[in-house]
Amino acid sequence: MTRGSSTSQRQKAPAANPGGKLLSEELAEIIHQAVRDNRSYLMEHESKEILEGAGIATTGYLVARSEDEALALCEKIGFPVVMKIVSPDVVHKSDAGGVRLNLQSADEVRKAYRGMMDTFKYQHIEGITIQRMAAPGIEAIIGVTRDPSFGPLIMFGLGGVFVEVLRDVSFRILPITEKDAAEMIEEIRGSDILKGYRGRPVDLQSLQQLLLKISRLINENPEIHELDLNPLFLYSEGYIAVDARMFVREPAQTEGTTATGATNLHDFFYPKSIAVIGASDVKGKLGANVFCNLVSHGYPGKLYPINPGKETVMGVRAYKSIRDVPDPVDLAIVIVPAKAAEAAIADCCTKGVRFVVVEAAGFAESGKEGKEAQARIEAVIRKHGCRVLGPNCSGVINTHHNMVQSIGLLGDLKKGNVGMVAQAGVYAAGILTGLSNVLDFGIVATIGNKMDINETDILEYLSDDDHISAIVMYMEDIRSGKRFVDVASRAALRKPVIVLKSGRTEAGKKAVSSHTASLAGDDEVNNAAFRQSGVIRARDNEHLFALTRAFSKQPIPKGNGVMVITYTGSLGVAATDMLYLSGMRLAELEPYFQQRLKNALPDYASVGNPIDCSFSMTPEQVKKLIEIGVESNDVQSFIVVIQGEILGSFVDVMKSIDYKDKPVACVVACKEFMIHDVVKMEQAGFPVYSTAEMAAEVLGQMYAYGVRRQSAMTDSIARHLTKDTLSVDNMPVRLRLINPKDIGLWTDFVNSCSPKSLWLRFLSPFSATPERAQRFCNVNPEDEVALVAEARTGDQHKFLGIARLIKNKRREGEAEYAIIISDPWQNKSLGITLSEQCIELAKKEGYKTIRAETLQENYAMIRIFRRCAFNFDGKDENMVSMTLNLS
Ligand code: ADP
Ligand code: MG
């Protein structure tokens, strides 16, 4: 029996596959064989057989080679059936008349069979597939294609014949996580259709699992170059792949891999000595600018000007060649004509210089000869393990090391917390000069042709440097995209990474085979990479620095309620509209606060939110309003719209307010025409925007960043749980972190605890209020871990206990520990297990000690602490204090 003509579908047992692989060796062999035979794709029935083998539901892959066999197969699967042509010559089957749907009888099947034989009599026909007629569902598409920089990508979207027109698809770089899969589904415009708009929702769970399975299939079988499941029918229960095609080829070795990333760049940013090859004191020469910048900004290390024709440069002893410098040199800057640069770099390598910044131009950017020179240099530096920035760049600025390597002369720079990577020298010159009025930079690195050190290497370093708390990137192309996603995901967890990527429009259509490839424009891929790694993408230069000013000067909002204070209704409305479009909302002020606001304003002002102070708005009024606002739990950030004419009078007052860690964005309409006071406000730490929309949008992006970072941190803490299921009294119990959706379960739990248990835990009478539920279920993973033990019987969930580790802000490395177990579950092993897991988590989170305080009469608790090896520290009248040393 030939493959594909089997009348019985094989039983699959994926678990039994070698190495725990998704596909059996036999199925993987179909792919290998196709590659060996130089075939470019697998036909529908072959693709579906492989998919079925991976546990993916399809309409079947039976093939008939004669009319009689076709009938026999129909008998077997039952009517109605679908018949499709199997021919390597027919790619789009339905367009060619090769798909016959909904055949109800033997007669119809015979007719269809003969019809197809006739239609395709000039093509090579392998047979006819006979498959189940799938019930109608929502037509979706899942596909895979590959990008030279990012490697394999997965796509999901609404599919069928209109997929290329609607372009309602989302992409991710493979492999994906469960969260990526969920976000891909959420991201498409039609996601509401999937969630049940006008009908039953589709089975999102199994769709997510399908995406993950495809991710694994591609990961384990790199010969699958591209894949299209189009359409895929989605149902309220399950899904079915109705059509499938796989493109195969010998896997490329280099795809998505990286050459760099091995060296720690600390000494590159903080060198103890610098040689400037091409240093000069002839005004106007670039070599003079670079050297002058180093001297005038007070570079603290040793400087060695290299210039064969000079005894000294700007009073510093010069050398003819870097080889003549008697001491070791950490870093060399090369700023000589391209022709001389090659030899200079070779000299640096011989001297053992580890880092070279090539500011000289005339390499790959300038044609064939330059390209060849660059390639020769690359070979030399690789051999010596020397790391090179550039060529064709404007060097590095590190204000924390008083080091300015720029080609353009730069005036004073303040030490700041912004780190910037730019694939354009202008960001270390013209643009920087303007920006330095309103933004303080720590490190600026321009990467030029990025022959060696690239944007990802710098990003990785900046995410580690404690002087830097916000990262800005300007990029024209992304080298080794896969490593970028990896590094950026980790960096974005620590600090905001804001990116402007130019070249958004696709420069010309590629000739592509699959639906997926035709939809995967460069920009879709970049977007996917940024979303997946949590990087914030700016639209343009203005948006880029609008975000940067807010992120670098203001804290992240902890909720989405905003108080808007304005002097004109129109700008209040503009802010409001944009807030709602950006995932934010107007804070709802409790009556108590409303009354206080009223008292702070003249009668004619409109108290509500936005608060319209009218044109009589004064700085003192605004101060009062903000001071009332910061106390409300629902207000987590502010937008203040200020009259340009009186902006100057706001600076000192705004500075004097205690914002309790809640961010403020200011709006001054037409600010560019009153720039003097705007600069003062910016320098006082308040980002000022020309439009209310921009202020609202920026706050929305900050909030979204905070939410994402918290959830990623929570996920990473959760991965440290060594035990997440156990059985207590034969009841299955799951240990997991609490989340904001647990409000109901938390409230039920507190209500079920006896007053005594609550007293012992909270040391005062305690009951579940909605406000407390909010607070106890929304933990900030940077400060607190809350672990719950949850029992499930059928669909019923309930909490049996909750343990919390809370960072002690006054004592470095110490966490406070508290635990409560529901009454019927006390004195079983649960308290100990929960505590042991919390101790594990505390270790992983880097805590050195855990401290617990409890009432002396809380014997059960004391017993748990003793069992977990806490040391008794002391007691007063009714409390005992115990600590556990983790180091
Ligand atoms: P192609 O994409 O090569 O033109 P398909 O196999 O996707 O061919 O078939 C075309 C259309 O026919 C599909 O989009 C789907 O709507 C419908 N169809 C195909 N196979 C089935 C099936 N087994 N059950 C129900 N509908 C089907
Ligand atoms: Mg199709």
Q: Is 855 in the pocket of ligand 1 (CB under 6 A)?
A: no
Q: Which numbered atom of ligand 1 lies nearest the CA of 132? A: 23
Query: Are the C-beta atoms of 534 and 708 separated by less than 8 Å?
Result: yes
Predicted local distance difference test score (pLDDT) of residue 4: 44
Query: Best mutation site among 47, 99, 129 for ligand 1, i.e. most ligand atoms within 8 A of its Cβ?
Result: 99
Q: Peptide bond before 391: cis, by omega within 30 degrees of 0?
A: yes
51 closest CA partner among 227, 236, 223, 238: 227
Q: Which atom of ligand 1 is nearest to the CA of 60?
A: 23
Angstrom distance (rounded) from CA 57 to CA 263: 47
In 3D, which of 865, 875, 809, 802 has the Cα closest to residue 834?
802
Pocket flag, ligand 1, residue 92 (CB < 6 Å) = yes
Of ligand 1's listed atoms, the one at least distance from the Cα of 59 is 23
φ, ψ of residue 233 to 5 degrees: the values are -90, 130
Q: Is residue 310 pLDDT above 90, yes or no?
A: yes
SS3 for 200-220 is CCCCHHHHHHHHHHHHHHHHH
At 203, list the tokens. 């089975």
pTM value is: 0.87
Q: Which residues of 295-316 are buried (b: 16+ CB within 10 A; e: fewer)?
A: bebebebbbbbbbeebeebbeb
Give the span between the Cα atoms of 30 and 39, in whole angstroms.
Answer: 11
What confidence score (pLDDT) does residue 782 get? 87
Residue of minimum CA distance from atom 22 in ligand 1 = 133
234 Cα to the center of ligand 1, angstroms = 14
pLDDT at 506: 52
Give percent above pLDDT 90 in the chain. Answer: 79
pLDDT recorded at residue 316:
97
Cα separation, 869 vs 884, in Å, equals 7
pLDDT at site 510: 52
Give the C-alpha distances (Å, rounded to integers) separating 586 from 372, 600, 696, 773, 868: 59, 20, 11, 22, 47
716 lines ligand 1 (CB under 6 A): no
Q: Is the distance from CB of 330 to CB of 291 less than 8 angstroms?
A: no
User: 740 pLDDT exceeds 60?
Assistant: yes
Among 45, 79, 87, 94, name the best residue to mutate to test ligand 1's pocket (greatest count of ligand atoms within 8 A of Cβ). Answer: 94
Cβ contacts of 660 within 8 Å, gap of 6 or more:
630, 631
What atom of ligand 1 comes closest to residue 135's alpha carbon? 25
Going from the Cα of 242 to the center of ligand 2, the distance in angstroms, rounded, reads: 7
Which DSSP symbol is given to 609? S
Atom of ligand 1 nearest to the CA of 94: 4
- Does residue 131 have its Cβ closer than 6 Å to ligand 1? yes
Q: Which two tokens stand for residue 359?
A: 């500011």
Is the Cβ atom of 619 under 6 angstroms away from ligand 1? Answer: no
Token pair recorded at residue 641 = 């719209």
Closest approach atom of ligand 1 to CA 134: 24
Interstrand relation of 441-446 and 470-475 (parallel, antiparallel or unpaired): unpaired
Give SS3 for 347.
Answer: helix
Contact 556, 713 (CB under 8 A): no
pLDDT of residue 5: 41
Please give the distance, rounded to the nearest whole angstrom, from the Cα atom of residue 243 to the centre of ligand 1: 6
pLDDT higher at 576 or 809 = 576
Looking at residues 735-739, what average pLDDT do you find?
93
Cis peptide before 591 (omega within 30 of 0): no
CA of 71 to the centre of ligand 1 (A): 20
CA-based torsion, 389, 395, 397, 403: positive or negative: positive
CA of 108 to the centre of ligand 2 (A): 23
Q: Which of 100, 101, 158, 229 to mutate to test the pocket of ligand 1 (most atoms within 8 A of CB)?
A: 101
Task: Using a pLDDT cut of 70, give the percent of the chain over it.
Answer: 96
Query: What count of other Cβ atoms lies within 10 Å of the Cβ of residue 533?
Result: 20
Average confidence (pLDDT) over 798-822: 94
Given 3-state DSSP classes, what are the helix, strand and coil percentages for the chain, each rounded to the nearest 5? Answer: 40, 25, 40
- Tell me the average pLDDT across 586-603: 91
Element (DSSP H or E) covering residue 667? strand 664-667
Atom nearest to 230 CA in ligand 1: 7
Give dist(CA 212, CA 176) in Å, integer: 7
Task: Name the residue at shortest CA distance from atom 10 of ligand 1.
Answer: 94
Q: Is the pLDDT of residue 3 over 70?
A: no
The count of C-alpha atoms lying within 13 angstroms of the C-alpha of 372, restricted to the half-sphere facing its C-beta, is: 3
pLDDT at 604: 82
The pLDDT value given to residue 479: 84
Residue 537, strand partner residues: 499
Return the amino acid letter for 380.
Answer: V
Kindly give the distance from the C-alpha atom of residue 664 to the centroid of ligand 1, in angstroms, as a whole number.
55
The full length of the chain comes to 887
Beta strand pairing call for 245-248 and 879-885: unpaired
Which residue's C-alpha comes closest to atom 9 of ligand 1? 94
Of the candidates 56, 57, 55, 86, the one whose C-alpha atom is nearest the C-alpha of residue 70 is 86
Higher pLDDT, 698 or 429: 698
In the 3-class helix/strand/coil scheme, how is 12-60 assigned residue by residue? Answer: CCHHHCHHHCCCCHHHHHHHHHHHHCCCCEECHHHHHHHHHHCCCCECC
Mean pLDDT of 300-325: 97
How high is the pLDDT of residue 512?
58
In this prediction, residue 381 carries a pLDDT of 95
- pLDDT category at 524 given cuts 50, 70, 90 is confident
Ligand 1 atom 4: residue of nearest CA: 94
Residue type, 544: L
Residue 2 has pLDDT above 50, yes or no: no
Report, as an integer, the average pLDDT of 252-258. 54
d(CA 230, ligand 2 centre) in Å: 5
Distances (CA, A) of 71 to 45, 46, 107, 129, 132: 18, 21, 9, 11, 13
Closest to 647 in 3D by CA, of 684, 665, 674, 615: 674
Gap between the Cα atoms of 45 and 31, Å rounded: 13
Q: Is 243 in the pocket of ligand 1 (CB under 6 A)?
A: yes
Mean pLDDT of 122-139: 95
Read off the tokens for 500. 């402007």
Q: Of the ranges 638-642, 842-846, 874-878, which one carries the lowest mean pLDDT score?
A: 874-878
Mean pLDDT of 357-364: 93
Indicate whether residue 101 lines ligand 1 (CB < 6 A): yes
Read off the tokens for 3. Answer: 């493959």
Segment 636-679, tens digit of pLDDT: 999 999 999 999 999 999 999 999 999 999 999 988 878 999 99
Closest atom of ligand 1 to 136 CA is: 25
Structure tokens at 217: 């299939």
Give me ligand 2 centre to Cα 244, in Å.
7
Question: In angstroms, rounded to a whole number, what is the distance separating the alpha carbons of residues 51 and 505?
Answer: 35
d(CA 379, CA 368): 17
Q: Which atom of ligand 1 has the smallest separation from the CA of 96?
A: 4
Please report the DSSP string for 144-182 in residue order: EEEETTTEEEEEEEE-STTHHHH--EEEEESS--HHHHH
Instruction: Please state, in angstroms and rounded to a whole number, the distance separating the CA atoms of residues 262 and 258.
Output: 10
The pLDDT of residue 13 is 44
Let me know: does 542 contact 687? Beta carbons within 8 Å: no
State the CB neighbour count (10 A cutoff) for residue 782: 10
Any idea which ligand is nearest the CA of 93? 1
pLDDT at 794: 77
Is residue 94 within 6 Å of ligand 1 at its C-beta?
yes
Long-range pairs of 279-284 with CB within 8 A, sequence gap ≥ 24: 279/305, 279/306, 279/307, 279/313, 279/318, 279/335, 280/307, 280/310, 280/313, 281/310, 281/313, 281/314
Q: Average per-residue pLDDT in the chain?
A: 92
Average pLDDT over residues 74-78: 93
The β-bridge partners of 82 are 131
99 lines ligand 1 (CB under 6 A): yes
Mean pLDDT, range 69-77, rounded to an integer: 95
What residues have CB less than 8 Å from 576, skipping those under 6 apart? 564, 586, 610, 696
Half-sphere exposure of 367 (CA within 13 A, CB side): 2
Q: Is the peptide bond before 231 cis (omega within 30 degrees of 0)?
A: yes
DSSP 215-284: HHHHHH-TTEEEEEEEEEEE-SS-EEE---EEEE-PPPSSTT--S---S--HHHHS-SEEEEET---STT
Cα 656 from Cα 485, distance rounded (Å): 41
Provide the residue type at 100 as one letter: R
Atom of ligand 1 nearest to the CA of 93: 3
59 lines ligand 1 (CB under 6 A): yes
Compute the radius of gyration of the chain from its Cα atoms.
33
Amino acid 537: pLDDT: 96
Confidence class for position 720, pLDDT limits 50, 70, 90: confident
Looking at the DSSP assignment, which residues form a beta bridge with residue 564? 639
| Cα–Cα distance for residue pair 830/791, rounded to 1 Å | 11
